Structure 1
């Protein structure tokens, strides 16, 4: 079990890191050919489309995973109906995307509006939910290499296309849109062949409305749940723009997300790896395995984030060489440590997903999103852009731990995950690394070593205690 967790996490985590490392070398090549207007146009369109992206599959991916786990020999029938429905829905969604782009596109890009719309809706019209269903199949089948090889190839291809369109063709922001569209089409196509011809998971367009309606009613409450992620992760920059925070400060905040983004993708890799294993433990009523997976995942993330944050002051200048970013490491520490909420989020919310108590998730995510918006509106105004990092940290802690205390979770027969103990440990380590970051390398090494040793010993004892 643990061998699968580590190997699958490595595979899921390797793909985004390969692309991120390559991106570091690509940025110096293309940035001389981009202006602040290019960043503005692409950033605005991307943010707006991110706000409606949750409606692309109406949350039906939950039904895909649950049906696969609960009916391993009959899931294809339901999958094919959902495939057919979402293929038709994708056409409607494409019109919504087009309308949103036309409403929000800046004046400077009006001349390219039609092409921007075409490049954004073409993958939807051609392939619909193919990529989502294909990647979901390989994830649930515990074949992470199939996903990794596609992610690496498509990610690297996107970077190469960015160089071609932006540096050589000098297309500015349009280079990003062209590269993204071509890469998405090829990625969808790579799933289309095995999904439709090898696995015989073909769309049923004559689906049963009663079946689809039932599944949508289960999944609709998850739309606000996932949309809250947008409010937590991106809305702070919209507030900064509203308050006319200078572009240099917003740039610092965005730069601080580079190292935190690596850990965010790492925790999502753990989520992808641990998800199928947790579903099996739920199905089998195996609480020992459930707790062991969660605790060891939490230890891995805590140890790695803490040690990196101790030395982030020395690491960042090696990655980001732009001037004026000397003090960004403090923001990066807060954002990186916020990733520690993810293992506990998985432990509580995956169980609610499995039990199909999706409405309960609104109590967690909607409140977190509301707190984030209110705190950012107040704190950015009074304390500046850096306050957004602390708001994100607090809201991540809330969203990660509050699921354990809601009525629906308490009423189910659940294992004891000791959430308050983990919360105290996380807060303590965050305060420690935040204030220790300015110490000498020798002193920080003396702090890092005990963290590593204690984490290793704790993981060993937990594995031994909860082994079946």
Structure 2
């Protein structure tokens, strides 16, 4: 089971995150040709698009996954209707994105307004629903190489295009938009063809409105839940703009989030890998396996993020070589360690998704996003982008662990995941690596090895007690 989890983590979650990972890998090559202003403009525009991104799928992936699990041989009829509905809805969604970009593009990017709009909406208007439905199909069918092959090709192409546009054509932030648009369209097309012509999942446009309404009643309450992700991860830059924080400071914060974004992709990958396994576990009510899976992911991520953060002082100058982006590792550590919230967040909330108690998620995600917005509105004005990193950490910790304490989770008599223990351990490791990053390199090597040994012992402990 652990071997399957590890292999699927490396494959299933890579597909939707391949562009982020590719951008991370080319940082040492392209950052000498980027300025803090480039990072600031790109970060703001991503934040603008993120303001409505949750409305792209309307949360319908939940019912797609549940219908597959419960009716393995009869799911296609529902999937095809939702596919058709999403294609039509996508036209409206694209117009909303274009209008927002036109209204709120930062003044430093006015000269490229229409180009930015086209590069961001063309991938949406063409085959956008095909990507999410195709990825979910291969994920649920346990066909990882269908995703891996696409990921490798698109990943390599993204690397090449980023280097070409930014390093050789000196396009700055526009290079990111051009490479993103090209690779997104190709990635979407690679799912559109097999979905429509091989698998038999052609969209039904003459869908039954009663069916769609029924699914939307389940999924629409999750929109505030998913929107909280935007409020937590991107809205802070909008607040910075509201307070007229200079674009260079926003760029430094955006650059500090580079490692966090990569780790967020990794946690998303683990979530994609573990979700089908957890659905089967919920179906059989196997609490021991459920606990074993979630504990294994938590151990792996805590040791991985802690070890990486120990060496950020040495690693970031190798990755980010732009003038004006020096000494951002302290902020980067806070952001990176914040993403350790996700394994326990998945442990609590996937079960609520499965039993379709989606309204209960509002107690977790809405409060977390409110905490984030309020703290950012109070402190960014006085303490700048550093306070935004601390706010992100506090908010994500709340979102990761509060689900265990709400009434709906307790009523399910769910598996005991010892949330207080994991929360205290995460905070302790964050404080430790924040200060330990300043130690001698060889001392940190010793600490890193010690962390790896402790993690191995932890996995063995889980193995011994829970028969892993």
**d(CA) in 2 for partners of 1:432, 1:466:** 29
Are residues 398 and 106 of structure 1, via their aligned partners in 2, closer, same or farther at CA, if it must alter by over 3 Å? closer
TM-superposition CA deviations, 1:121-171 (whole Å, max 9, x none): 333333241111001111122222222322332233234334445566666
Cα RMSD, aligned residues only = 2.4
Aligned residues of 1:22 and 1:156 also touching (Cα < 8 A)? no
**d(CA) in 2 for partners of 1:308, 1:107:** 36
Are residues 310 and 369 of structure 1, via their aligned partners in 2, closer, same or farther at CA, if it must alter by over 3 Å? same
**1:392 match:** 392
**d(CA) in 2 for partners of 1:383, 1:35:** 19
TM-superposition CA deviations, 1:225-282 (whole Å, max 9, x none): 1111111111112222233333443333222212222222111111111111111101
Matches for 1:400-439 after TM superposition, within 5 Å = 400-439=400-439
**2:249 match:** 249
Structure 2 stretches lacking a partner, 5+ long:
none
Matching of residue 315 in structure 1 with residue 315 in structure 2: yes
Matches for 1:65-80 after TM superposition, within 5 Å = 65-80=65-80
TM-superposition CA deviations, 1:285-338 (whole Å, max 9, x none): 111110000001100011111122222222222222334544322112111111
Deviation at 1:464, TM superposition (A): 2.9
**2:138 match:** 138
**d(CA) in 1 for partners of 2:446, 2:355:** 45
Are residues 301 and 163 of structure 1, via their aligned partners in 2, closer, same or farther at CA, if it must alter by over 3 Å? closer
**1:9 match:** 9
Matches for 1:186-225 after TM superposition, within 5 Å = 186-225=186-225
**d(CA) in 1 for partners of 2:250, 2:110:** 25
Secondary structure in 2 aligned to 1:315?
A: helix
Aligned residues of 2:36 and 2:252 also touching (Cα < 8 A)? no
**2:56 match:** 56
**2:27 match:** 24
TM-superposition CA deviations, 1:82-141 (whole Å, max 9, x none): 011111111222222232233224567666545544443333333241111001111122
**1:129 match:** 129
**2:368 match:** 368
Deviation at 1:26, TM superposition (A): 4.2
Secondary structure in 2 aligned to 1:293?
A: helix
Which has the bigger relative contact order, CA under 8 A and spacing at least 6? 2
**1:346 match:** 346
TM-superposition CA deviations, 1:344-395 (whole Å, max 9, x none): 0010111111111111111111111110011112122233321111111111
Structure 1 stretches lacking a partner, 5+ long:
none
**1:465 match:** 465
- Residues 310-319 or 401-410, more deviating: 310-319
Aligned residues of 2:83 and 2:203 also touching (Cα < 8 A)? yes
Aligned residues of 1:19 and 1:152 also touching (Cα < 8 A)? no
**d(CA) in 2 for partners of 1:82, 1:233:** 28
Are residues 29 and 13 of structure 1, via their aligned partners in 2, closer, same or farther at CA, if it must alter by over 3 Å? farther
Deviation at 1:197, TM superposition (A): 1.5
**d(CA) in 2 for partners of 1:104, 1:384:** 21
Aligned residues of 1:29 and 1:163 also touching (Cα < 8 A)? no
Deviation at 1:217, TM superposition (A): 0.9
**1:277 match:** 277
Secondary structure in 2 aligned to 1:281?
A: helix
Deviation at 1:181, TM superposition (A): 2.5
Secondary structure in 2 aligned to 1:56?
A: coil
TM-superposition CA deviations, 1:167-189 (whole Å, max 9, x none): 66666655444433322221111
Secondary structure in 2 aligned to 1:129?
A: helix
Matches for 1:161-240 after TM superposition, within 5 Å = 161-165=161-165, 174-240=174-240
**1:287 match:** 287
TM-score in terms of structure 1 length = 0.92
